[in-house]
Structures are given as C-alpha cells and as structure tokens.
Chain A
C-alpha cells in the first residue's frame, strides 16, 4: 500500500470534513462534504475494496449530496444568516476523539500492516450477496421502498 497516496488522501478527507463541519455558509459546507466523500472513496480504493468505493461515489455523491443541496435550495430563507456556534459541542467531540485515540493506541494487536491479498472481484461480491447475504439484501430492498414512500408522503402538499 502506498504511503504517499495514503498521506495525501488523508489530508484531503480530513480537510474536507473539517471544512464541512465549520464553514459558516451552508452551500460551501455541503460542497466540502463532497470533497470528504471523494477522499473516502479514494480510501476504499486504496484498501482494495473498489466496489465499495464506486458505490460510495454513486450513492453518497450522486444521491445524498444532491439531496442535501436540493434541500438547502428549498429551505433557503435561513441559509444566508450564519448561525450560532455551540462551543459545548466542540468539547464533547474532542473528548470523544480523545477517548477513541487512547483506546486505539493502547491496543497492541492493531499495529499490523496489511498482507498481500488477492483482489476482491465483483463476481465474488455478487456470489456472496446471492448466497450468504440474501436475507439482508431483501430486507434492504424493503427498507428502501419504505423510505421512498415515507419521504414522498412527508413532503406531499396536503389538499386543502
């Protein structure tokens, strides 16, 4: 695994995420979120899970980010006023990160490097989806249908 690529992708992802969390204007934050998602997709490619990376770009950037951007558009009245920043949340977030960091650094068994593995092909993922993971697949299908109908019902204008 390439260390130069790892460092660059890590910097891009963390900068994008930090910008998405702290920028005052909402639309800039949404677009920096897209940069963070691209960085994450690059991480997935680096880890050898190319299908997950492609699905991440397709679903998160092509669907979730577009949804967020459309919602910003439709709820535009408050978008220009920068809102109050709650510093208590910052302290909690830093505390949680500190706790996780302590836990990671004090676990010796995770200080390992990656072995060379045969690349995971999409055919293998398809085989596994249809044999071991058939139940989760159908449940996710039902869940997505329910979410689709639910979202439509929520935003439908009521007939007066």
Chain B
C-alpha cells in the first residue's frame, strides 16, 4: 500500500504515456522527456512562488513584524499580486545598451538554473534525467551561470552594472572550488558520479535508528557545512550578497533591468537555491531515504521535500540574522579557509574508508578534521580586538 503511494507519480506518468501506445520509439522518448520537464517546472515554479512569500513572512517574524498578510489567507496569494505587477511594468532598455546581450542575459541565467534541477533524484525511481555523470553535469551547468552574469553586466552599458558583474563573477568563481572539492569525498567513497548511486549508497541503519547518511560521519558533516556555505555564496545570498546589495552597488548587474526581466533574475536566484539544496540533500542527507527505519512508510518524495524545506528555512534564517560581509573578507574566507578545509575533508574521507568505515574510522577522521581546523584557526587569527557588543531592542 505504501509502495503504491510512493510510486504514484510514476504510475500517473505511465498511464499518460499509455495513450501513445502504438507510437514509434523516438516519439515515446520525447513524450516521456516532456512529461518529466513539465513535472519539474510545475513543482518548482509553485515552490518558488510559495518560498518568495514565506521568505518575506519569516524575515518579518525574525524582525519582529508581520510579513505580507493582506492578499489571500495569511498573505499566501502575494506571489500572484507580485507576478501581475512584474508583468504589467514597463520594460525599459537603456538606449546605448547592447540589445541582444541585454535581452539574452536573464534567459541564460534562468535556463542554466533550471537545467541543474534535472538530475536530482526526488524520490524512488523519480530522477527526471538519470545521466551517468550527473554531478559533473550539475557543476558544468552551474559554471555557465557566470557567463550570463557577465552578459547582464556588460549589456547594460553602466559602470555600476559592470562592477557588480565583476564582483559577482569573482565571488562565484572563487567559491566554485570549495563547492566541487567538497563533493569529492562523497564521490570517492561511493565510487560513482550518478546521484542515484550516491543515494543508494546511503541506505541502511545502524542499531535501527542511526541512518548511514554521509552527514553522520565527521568528514561528511564538515563537507556538508562547507558545501552549504559555498551554496550560500553561489546563489548570492546574505551574508554574501554584495553583487546585489542595494546600499553598495545599486542592484549590481541587475541595475538596468525592470519588470519581467528582473523577475527572471529573482527566479534564477531561487532556482539556484533549490538546486544547491537539492544536491546537498542528495549528497549528504541521504536523498529520499527516511531517517529512521520505522518511518519508511512515509513516501520518498515527501522525505525529500521535507529535507529541502529544512535547508531552505536555514537559508532564510541566515539571511535574516547575519549582516553582509565585505567583498575582500569573502574572498579571503574562500581561499584561506575553505579551500584547505575542503582538501582536509577528502583526506579524512580516505582515512575513514581505510580504517574500515566503522568506529575506528570515525574517530581517526575526526582527529584529522579537528587538527586542520584548529591549526587553521590559530594560523589565520589576526589578533584584532573588538569592542564589546551592545544590543538595542525596540520597546
């Protein structure tokens, strides 16, 4: 019974495809691909609308005020109002801007963000496109986003846009290295680049209640934290949102965009967040597996989206809590701290594997990670003294 609820979307797709029963092979493949694409787009566009209003409400609550609550019950129809507003705004293109580049940039950024969503396993047998080198595809597509950012900055013929684009690209390129290197331990331990294989390698429970997710190992926990922070930077979220910081550089590479194109940039940022969170769930948090052996009756896609929701809430929480970092602080953090820690995770994973993947492996990999972490903290300490922090609350 729980099996059929688990596979309900697969059965629905097979039922829809059965209408084309006599068609040639290539037509069936194209129809199947289109159904997959439609499902992914439908789910994630709805999730985008929901998260955009939930983010404003959660940020509001963190800042001791209500978020939007006028449109619809609890303000949940706010995205509809936002969408209508964006669509009816006048589309202004600067006179001396490069028209083709200015037009193509938001499309390219949004397209590459959506492409990355295609290889993530959303449930048992529910990967839209199962490629052998899925993780490599994800990073290849993610690195193409930088070109879109450059097109946006250059095509606007505006010094602020150009500066913002250069900062954004510098930040994204620097953090791509820790992002890719922290996935290396997982790929090394599993022995495959396919996300399905990585999820399948995280089955099993010790003592019935400790799941074999990679985040429960020391190198996995460190790699998960580094991956999460790199994901924060890659999607230009606070505290690393210098490229779109309003008080610093107007809107960075998005300055000269209005109306629907700006909504496209906004959507691309959120889709990037979804993709990175989805990959973090797949690589470290066990994908669609249940955390305890007794809870396996809940369908696999429900578990995936619950874990995704927890990660997205953490993204929003960090945005509401931390101030923006300066751009040179961001770069120094990447090259001086995150890169050595990422390499340490690879070494710690190797230690864990060769010590037998049991308790001895857990202990020795923890020792490796701890030594490098405390060594780096001592080495990078600038010795600056800060004033005591004072808090002022609204009465």
Contact = CB atoms under 8 A, between A and B. Distances in A.
Complex A–B touching at CB under 8 A: yes
Interface of A: 27-28, 31, 34, 50-51, 54-55, 57-58, 61-63, 65-66, 69-70, 73, 119, 121-123
Given A66-B169, A73-B154, 17 more contacts: A27-B154, A31-B147, A50-B133, A55-B140, A57-B143, A58-B136, A62-B146, A63-B143, A65-B147, A66-B143, A66-B146, A69-B147, A69-B150, A70-B150, A70-B166, A119-B132, A122-B193
A153 to B, nearest CB: 17
Contacts of B150: 66, 69-70, 73
A62 B140 contact: yes
A134 B143 CA distance: 28
Q: Is the interface of B mostly helix, strand, loop or mixed?
A: helix
Q: Is the interface of A mostly helix, strand, loop or mixed?
A: helix
Contacts of A61: 140, 143-144, 147
A39 to B, nearest CB: 14
A122 B193 CA distance: 8
Interface residues of B, number: 25
A73 B162 contact: yes
Contacts of A57: 140-141, 143-144
Contacts of B139: 58
Pairs A-B, 5 closest by C-beta atoms:
A62-B143, A57-B140, A58-B140, A54-B136, A54-B133
Nearest to B153: A73
Contacts of A58: 136, 139-140, 143
7 contacts: A27-B154, A51-B136, A57-B140, A57-B144, A62-B140, A66-B143, A121-B132
Nearest to B104: A31
B133 A51 contact: yes
Contacts of B193: 122
Interface string B1-33: 000000000000000000000000000000000
Contact of B147 (A34, A119, A122): A34
A46 to B, nearest CB: 15
